[in-house]
Chains A and B, each alone.
Chain A
Amino acid sequence: QSALTQPPSASGSPGQRVTISCSGSASNIGSDTVNWYQQLPGTAPKLLIYSNYQRPSGVPERFFGFKSGMSASLAIRDLQSEDEAHYFCASWDDSLNGPVFGGGTKLTVL
């Protein structure tokens, strides 16, 4: 059972907007920032969003993150076929004394 809860799956059609949620608690998201990772099939994860909404160089503006209270979300607009991947949220957890990841969401582009 992950400290951060994500829906196991999400889907959308090309061109649509999709949102993936990450629900935590006061000991993690409620008190620290959230990062998001994209893992394409058969590859290592890649940093997609850090510190709630910042995008590393090279990440398209179609990806954006936001946080409110003890939850965070990753939104992808203008969905493209190459966005089909697993997405993981991550944060620090005071109770577990370490970084924690969400269980991951598999995004399918229909």
Chain B
Amino acid sequence: EVQLVQSGTEVKKPGESLKISCQGAGYDFTTFWIGWVRQMPGKGLEWMGIVWPGDSQARYSPSFQGHITISSDKSFNTAFLQWSSLRASDTAMYFCVRLGPGGMAADGVINPIFDYWGQGALVIVSS
């Protein structure tokens, strides 16, 4: 059974750093892109970026570029989302997602077929 298991709730102060994780199981982790999606309280979904676990190649949404880093460690079937300096506006639920078959075109267009989702990690940033 395919599963994406995320790390737990985090409570941080503005300016602090944070790294959350997403471990895949039940499939070959190195052959599917892993993405991250943000959901702010009571709001919709926003695509943040994506990583190829085979070589840690990452792509970012322009809205998040420069504020986050997405990486992976294929030895542990794990992808990461990190911040070096959190803001209160980073308070949200963060989901990791697997990009399903056909999701990445040869020209780099991403068809957002996110076929598996992690359970979500709540990040609270408050002074």
CA distance A101 to B45 in the complex (A): 6
- Rounded to whole angstroms, the CA-CA distance of A47 and B113 in the bound complex is 7
**B110 contacts A98, CB within 8 Å?**
yes
Q: A88 near B45 (CB under 8 angstroms)?
A: yes
The stretch among A11-19, A31-39, A70-78 that forms the contact with chain B is A31-39
Cβ-closest chain B residue relative to A86? B44
Contacts of B110 in A (CB 8 A): 92, 98-99
Q: A88 to B112, Cβ gap below 8 A?
A: no
* CB <8 Å contact, B113 and A101: no
Q: Is the interface on chain B under 10, 10 to 19, 20 to 34, or 35 or more residues?
A: 20 to 34
Assess whether B46 is interfacial by the CB under 8 Å rule: yes
B112 touching A91 by the CB < 8 A rule? yes
A32 in contact with B111 given A45-B95, A46-B117, A98-B61 (CB within 8 Å): yes
Is there a chain B Cβ closer than 8 Å to A51's Cβ? yes
A68 interface residue per 8 A CB criterion: no
Specify which of A50, A99, A102 lies most central, judged by the most chain B CB atoms within 10 Å of its CB: A99
One of B44, B62, B114 near A47 (C-beta < 8 A): B114
Q: Does B115 contact A (CB under 8 A)?
A: yes
Q: Are A99 and B100 in contact (CB under 8 A)?
A: no
Which residues of A, 91-107, contact B by the 8 Å Cβ criterion?
A: 91-92, 96-104
CB of B112 within 8 A of CB of A90, answer yes
Where the two chains meet, the residues of A that have a C-beta atom closer than 8 Å to any C-beta of B are 2, 32-33, 35, 37, 44-47, 50-51, 56, 88, 90-92, 96-104
Q: List 14 A-B contacts (CB under 8 A).
A: A32-B111, A45-B114, A47-B113, A47-B114, A50-B111, A51-B111, A51-B113, A90-B112, A98-B47, A98-B62, A99-B110, A101-B112, A102-B44, A104-B45
Besides the known contacts A47-B115, A96-B62, A100-B47, 19 further A-B residue pairs in the complex with CB atoms under 8 A apart:
A35-B113, A35-B114, A37-B114, A47-B100, A47-B113, A50-B111, A50-B113, A50-B115, A51-B102, A51-B113, A90-B45, A90-B112, A90-B114, A92-B111, A98-B110, A101-B45, A102-B44, A103-B44, A104-B44
